[in-house]
């Protein structure tokens, strides 16, 4: 049921990659460094599988930027997740300062929020293009937690769309993950509409 065909997967990946290009140019207008953004793959998984696939140890500290999106075909909690040490590289890049996640200040959280906001908007924007639907989004919030609690508070049966994001900054490769949590009926509608639009 979760499965989609390779063709569908490729189509979504390509579409998201295009919008990531836009997000990258937004980033590049914000900072001096050149950032290349790419989405090498996407995966539809269950919430139980997600951590394994993200290869995140349960105790690992992560930070995420979260927005709620809703459209005609689906509503979703969308998160951009960084494992701590990697997110620091981004903070350093945007703020030009050394810091640690523990020491990150409110204003630094806000900077991360903006980074996440640009990415999540771009990502949802591309889905909204495929679905030919207006998907509205709330303002981002920034949180820190242990990896194991990332998917805990979801009550219903869900499907998670994992979008792997590579931030290419000079020689460094920072990995982030966009996580779209879709309730099952959302996913079904999403998939139907996706198939219709991709095939049609």
Partner 1 sequence: MLPVLTFQDVLGNIPNGIIIIDENSKVLLWNSWMESYSGISTEKALGTGLFTLFPELKEGRIGIAVNTAIENSQSSFLSHTIHKGIFPLFIKHPGETEKIRVCQDVHITSARQDNDTYYAVIIIEDVSVAVIKERMLKERAREEHELNEKLIQEVKERKQVEKELRLSGAVMKATMDGVVITDNKSNIISVNPAFGHITGFSTENLINKKISILKSGKHTKEFYKNLWRTLTTEGQWKGEFINKKPDGKLFTVEASITSIKDNTGATQNYVNVFRDITKRKKDEELLRKLSSTDPLTELANRRAFDEAFEREWRRGLRHSHLVGIALIDVDFFKRYNDFYGHPAGDKCLQQIADILKNIIKRADDIVSRYGGEEFVVIFTQNDPDGIFKLIESVHKDIHELKIPHNNSNTSKYVTISSGISWVIPDSKHSAEQLLEAADKALYEAKEKGRDRIVVKPFSE
> Encoding tokens for residue 117?
């906001």
Through-space distance between the first and last CA atoms of the chain, rounded to whole angstroms: 21
Among 2, 11, 30, 53, binds partner 1 (CB under 8 A): 30
Question: Coil, strand or helix: which one is 177?
Answer: strand
Q: How many residues bind partner 1 (CB under 8 A)?
A: 29
DSSP track, 45-92: E-HHHHHHHHT--TT-EEEEEEEEEE-SS-EEEEEEEEEHHHHHHHHH
Q: What is the DSSP letter of 32?
A: S
Q: How far apart, in whole angstroms, are the C-alpha atoms of residue 121 and residue 75?
A: 14
Does position 29 bind partner 1 by CB under 8 A?
Answer: yes
Q: Which of residues 104-133 bind partner 1 (CB under 8 A)?
A: 105-108, 110-111, 113-114, 117-118, 121, 124-125, 128
User: In the complex, what is the shortest distance from the CB of residue 106 to partner 1, in angstroms, rounded to a whole number?
Assistant: 7
Q: In this complex, which beta carbon is closest to partner 1, that of residue 3 or of residue 106?
A: 106
Closest alpha carbon to 163 in 7, 20, 2: 20
Q: In this complex, which beta carbon is closest to partner 1, that of residue 25 or of residue 46?
A: 25
User: In the complex, what is the shortest distance from the CB of residue 63 to partner 1, in angstroms, rounded to a whole number?
Assistant: 15
Q: Which of residues 39-98 bind partner 1 (CB under 8 A)?
A: 67, 94-95
Q: How far apart, in whole angstroms, are the C-alpha atoms of residue 101 and residue 66?
A: 17
Binding range to partner 1, per CB under 8 A, among 22-30, 35-43, 151-159, 165-173: 22-30
User: In the complex, what is the shortest distance from the CB of residue 113 to partner 1, in angstroms, rounded to a whole number?
Assistant: 5
Among 5, 46, 72, 136, binds partner 1 (CB under 8 A): 136
> Encoding tokens for residue 127?
């889905």
User: In the complex, what is the shortest distance from the CB of residue 142 to partner 1, in angstroms, rounded to a whole number?
Assistant: 10
Question: Coil, strand or helix: which one is 160?
Answer: strand
User: In the complex, what is the shortest distance from the CB of residue 80 to partner 1, in angstroms, rounded to a whole number?
Assistant: 13
Q: How far apart, in whole angstroms, are the C-alpha atoms of residue 166 and residue 35?
A: 10
User: Binding residues for partner 1, per CB under 8 A?
Assistant: 26, 29-31, 67, 94-95, 103, 105-108, 110-111, 113-114, 117-118, 121, 124-125, 128, 134-140
């Amino acid at each position: 049921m979760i499965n989609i065909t390779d063709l569908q997967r490729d189509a979504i990946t390509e579409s998201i990659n295009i919008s990531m290009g836009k997000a990258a140019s937004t980033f590049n207008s914000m900072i001096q460094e050149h950032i290349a953004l790419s989405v090498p793959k996407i995966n539809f998984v269950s919430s139980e599988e997600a951590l394994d696939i993200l290869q995140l140890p349960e105790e690992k500290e992560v930070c995420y930027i979260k927005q709620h999106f809703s459209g005609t075909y689906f509503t979703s909690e969308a998160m951009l997740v960084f494992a701590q040490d990697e997110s620091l590289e981004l903070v350093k890049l945007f703020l030009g300062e050394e810091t640690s996640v523990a020491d990150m200040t409110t204003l630094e959280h806000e900077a991360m929020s903006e980074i996440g906001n640009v990415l999540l908007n771009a990502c949802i924007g591309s889905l909204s293009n495929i679905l030919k639907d207006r998907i509205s989004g709330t303002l981002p919030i920034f949180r820190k937690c242990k990896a194991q609690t990332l998917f805990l508070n979801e009550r219903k049966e869900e499907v998670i769309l994992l979008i792997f994001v590579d931030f290419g900054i000079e020689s460094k490769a920072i990995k982030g993950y966009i996580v779209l949590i879709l309730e099952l009926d959302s996913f079904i509608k999403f998939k139907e509409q996706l198939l219709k639009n991709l095939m049609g």
